[in-house]
Structure 1
Amino acid sequence: MNVVTMAAVEKRRRKRGAAILSLLGLLIVIMFIVSMNTGYMRLSPLEVLRTLTGAGTAQQQLILFDFRLPRIVISLLVGAGFAVSGCILQSLSRNALAESSTLGINAGAGFAVLIFISFFPATTSAPVFVLPLLALAGAALTAALIYVLAFRRADGLSPTRLILIGIAVTAGIYAWQLVLSLRLDPRNYQFVATWIAGKIWGGDWKFVLALLPWLLVLLPFAMFKSRVLNVLNLGDSTAAGLGMRLEKERILLLAAAVALAGSCVAVSGGIGFVGLISPHLARRLVGPRHQVLLPATALTGALLMITADTIGRWILQPAEIPTGIVVAVIGAPYFLYLLARSKA
C-alpha cells in the first residue's frame, strides 16, 4: 500500500469516526429532550420549551430545573465516566470482560460510601462533596487488594485470574454491605437497598457540582493518554522497545480508571455493565484507535445511561425502576455472550 492510498484510507477513517461521533451526539440530544418530557408529572415539548425560556409556571420550573435536569445531567456524566473507565481497564488488561463492576472497584467504592452514610447524614452540603473522595479511597483499596491477589511472580498478572478474583472480591464486599444494612433503621435500609440496585440518588445540582470537577480532569487526561493505550495494546515487548515506561503508564491509567469509577459510584450507586458494554459497542463502530474510541465510548456510555434512566422512570409510572436494574437487563445477556466468546 503506497503513501497516497494510506492517506486516503486514513482520511476515510477520520470522516467515518467524525460521522459516528456526530450521530451519537445527535442521539444524546434526542434522548435529552425525551427525558425532559418523561416522568410522573408529564410536561409536553411546548411546556418544556416555555419553561426553559422562563415562561413556565412555578410548578413546571420546579419539576424541570430542580428534579429532572440535574438527574439527566448526572446520568450523562456517570455514563461517560463508567464507560471510559471500562475502556481503560479493558485496554490495560487486554481482557474483553474487564470493567469496574466485574473487578470489584464499584463495590469497594460503594462500600466506603455506605459506611459513611450509615454513621453520618449525607444530606448536608459538606458530605456531598466528601462522597467522591470516600468512594475513591474505597475503590483504590479494592483495586490494590485485587492486584495483589491476582499477581504472581511466575507469570505476572493473568487476565483470567484478575477477573475471577475481582468477581470473588465483589461478592465478599456485597455480603458485608448486607451485614452493614442490618443495623440500619427501615428508612435508611430502603435507601441502601435502592442504592445498591443502582438508583441515581444524587438528583440535585450540588451532586452535579461534586462530580463534574473529577470528570473535567480525568476524561481529558484519558484522551491525552490515548496514544499510550494504542501502544500498550501492541504488547509489553513492543511497548518497551518503543521506549515506553510500562509500569508508570499503567499505574497512571489505572489510577484514572479507578478515580472515574469511584467518583461516579458516589452519586449513582452500584450500576454495572455500562463500562463493559459501551467500549465494545464503540469499538465495533469506530475501531480500536483510542483517539476516536475513547470519545465514542464516552458518548455511548452517556447515551446508554440516559436511555436506561428514562426507561426506568417511564415504564412503571408512578413507580420507578432503578437505572442499574434496567442496565443489567441489557448488560447481563451481553456479559454472558462475551464470557462464552472469551478464550482467556
Structure 2
Amino acid sequence: MNNEKLKQKRFTFTMSLLAILILILFIISLNMGVVRIAPLDVFKTLFGMGSPRDELVLVDFRLPRMLLALVIGAALAVSGAILQGVSKNDLADPGILGINTGAGFAVILFIYFFQGSMNNVSTFGILLMPLFALMGAVTAAFLIYALAWKKGIDPVRLILVGIGVNSGFGAVIIIFQLKMNPQDFMQAAVWLSGDIWGANWKFVSIISPLILLLLPFAFYKSHVLNLLNLGDQVAIGLGIRVERERRFLLLVAVALAGFGVAAGGGIAFLGLVAPHIAKRLMGPKHQMFLPVTALLGSLLLLVADTLGKNILAPTEIPVGIVVAILSAPYFIYLLMKAK
C-alpha cells in the first residue's frame, strides 16, 4: 500500500512538473521569434490590451502553431507508446515503421490531385486532410502487419518490414514531388521532414478535437496494454479478447499518428523517445506512464519548435529535423542495446 502511495505521489509530482515546464516554455516561446515581444506585452496582448502588431504576431501566427505543437507532440508520443505495447517492441515508432510516411503519402496525393498547391489548401481541404492522412496511415499499418506476420509478429521482423514500407512510400512521394512546381516541391520537402505548416486556427479547430478525443480513450485502455504485456495466453485467461483489443489499440495509434502528420508533417523519433523516458520515470504501468508520455511529447515538440524557430533566425529549421537531431543518438543507443 505504501509503495502504491509513493508511486501515486511520484506520478502527481511528475505530471505537475511537466505541466509547469510546458507553461513556462509556452510563455518563453511566445516572446521569442523574428519579432521579439516583451513578456509584459505578451500578457497585455493575451488579455486583449496589446498593440495591433503584437496581436497579429501572437494570436494569428504563434499561438496556433504552439497549440498544434502541444497536441501533435502528445499524439505522436502516445501513438509510439501504444505501438511499443501492442508489438512488444521497444523500437516501434510511427515514424520508423512507416505509418507517418503512409499518412504523408496520402496527404501529398490529396494536395497534388485536389488542391493544386500547398499554399492553396481550402477550408474544405483542411476538413478532408485528416481523413486522407488516416487512410494513408491505416494502409501503411495494414501492409506492415500483413508482411510482418509469420506465425505471430517478431519484433525484429516488424522493424525491418516497417523500414522497407517506409522506404517504399518515401520513393513514391518523391515521384509526385518531382511532378510539382518548384515552389510546391520545396514546401512538400520541408513539410515531409516535419514542419508544423498548418499554423492557423482552422487547423487547430479541426485537428485538436480529433486528437483530444482519442487520447482519453488510449488512457482508458491502459489496463489492456498492461495485460497484453503479460502475454496472449495470460491475457486470454484473464478474459481479454486479445485480437480485438489489439486491433482497436492499433487503430487508435494509427489515427493519432495520421492526424499528427496531417498538421505536423513527418516527425520521426518522438514516438520512440518520449515513451522510453516516461517508462524510466514511472515504470511499465500504462495507467501512469501514458499520461506522462503525452506531456513529455508535448514538451519535447515545443522545445524542438522553439529551437527550430530561433537557433538560426530568421531562417527556420523544420521541427522534425530538430527532433531527429535530439533523438537519433538515443535511437542508436537503443538499437545497440537491443538483443
TM-score range, shorter chain: over 0.9
Counterparts of 1:12 and 1:129 in 2: how far apart (Å)? 45
Counterparts of 1:134 and 1:170 in 2: how far apart (Å)? 17
- Say whether the 8 Å CA contact 2:71–2:212 is kept in structure 1: no
Counterparts of 2:313 and 2:212 in 1: how far apart (Å)? 34
Look up the equivalent residue of 1:227 and give its one-letter code.
Answer: H
Does residue 75 in structure 1 map to residue 69 in structure 2? yes
- Say whether the 8 Å CA contact 2:111–2:121 is kept in structure 1: no
Does residue 226 in structure 1 map to residue 197 in structure 2? no
Q: How does 1:256-271 map to 2 (within 5 A)?
A: 256-271=252-267
Aligned partner of 2:283 in structure 1 is 287
Counterparts of 1:82 and 1:140 in 2: how far apart (Å)? 15
Aligned partner of 2:85 in structure 1 is 91
> Cα deviation per residue 1:213-264 (whole Å; 9 max; x = unaligned)?
2112210100110111111111112111111110000000000000000011
Shift of 1:98: 0.2
> Cα deviation per residue 1:178-226 (whole Å; 9 max; x = unaligned)?
1111111111111111111111101001001111121122101001101
Aligned partner of 1:252 in structure 2 is 248
Counterparts of 1:291 and 1:148 in 2: how far apart (Å)? 30
**Secondary structure of 2:299's partner?**
helix
**Secondary structure of 2:94's partner?**
coil
**Secondary structure of 1:11's partner?**
helix
Counterparts of 2:181 and 2:86 in 1: how far apart (Å)? 42
Aligned partner of 1:137 in structure 2 is 135
Aligned partner of 2:299 in structure 1 is 303
Match of 2:27 among 33, 36, 56: 33
> Cα deviation per residue 1:72-124 (whole Å; 9 max; x = unaligned)?
00000000000000000000111110010111100000000001111222521
- Say whether the 8 Å CA contact 2:107–2:262 is kept in structure 1: yes
Counterparts of 1:57 and 1:120 in 2: how far apart (Å)? 39
Look up the equivalent residue of 1:123 and give its one-letter code.
Answer: V
Match of 1:56 among 38, 44, 50: 50
- Say whether the 8 Å CA contact 2:97–2:163 is kept in structure 1: yes
Q: How does 1:154-169 map to 2 (within 5 A)?
A: 156-169=152-165
TM-score by length of 2: 0.98
Shift of 1:129: 1.2
Aligned residues: 335
> Which shows bigger deviation, 269-278 or 209-218?
209-218
Percent identical among aligned pairs is: 52
> Which shows bigger deviation, 232-241 or 198-207?
232-241
Does residue 316 in structure 1 map to residue 312 in structure 2? yes
Shift of 1:163: 0.6
Look up the equivalent residue of 1:125 and give its one-letter code.
Answer: T
Counterparts of 1:20 and 1:297 in 2: how far apart (Å)? 11
**Secondary structure of 1:102's partner?**
helix
Aligned partner of 1:196 in structure 2 is 192
**Secondary structure of 2:240's partner?**
coil
> Which shows bigger deviation, 185-194 or 66-75?
185-194
Counterparts of 1:115 and 1:196 in 2: how far apart (Å)? 13
Gaps of 5+ in 2: none
Counterparts of 2:281 and 2:301 in 1: how far apart (Å)? 18
Counterparts of 1:197 and 1:279 in 2: how far apart (Å)? 21
Does residue 105 in structure 1 map to residue 99 in structure 2? yes
Counterparts of 2:177 and 2:53 in 1: how far apart (Å)? 36
CA RMSD of aligned residues (A): 0.8
Counterparts of 2:309 and 2:209 in 1: how far apart (Å)? 27
Counterparts of 2:303 and 2:166 in 1: how far apart (Å)? 26
Counterparts of 2:215 and 2:44 in 1: how far apart (Å)? 34
Look up the equivalent residue of 1:290 and give its one-letter code.
Answer: H
Look up the equivalent residue of 1:152 and give its one-letter code.
Answer: K
Shift of 1:174: 0.8
TM-score by length of 1: 0.96
Counterparts of 1:12 and 1:289 in 2: how far apart (Å)? 14
Counterparts of 1:106 and 1:39 in 2: how far apart (Å)? 28
Gaps of 5+ in 1: 1-6
Aligned partner of 1:211 in structure 2 is 207
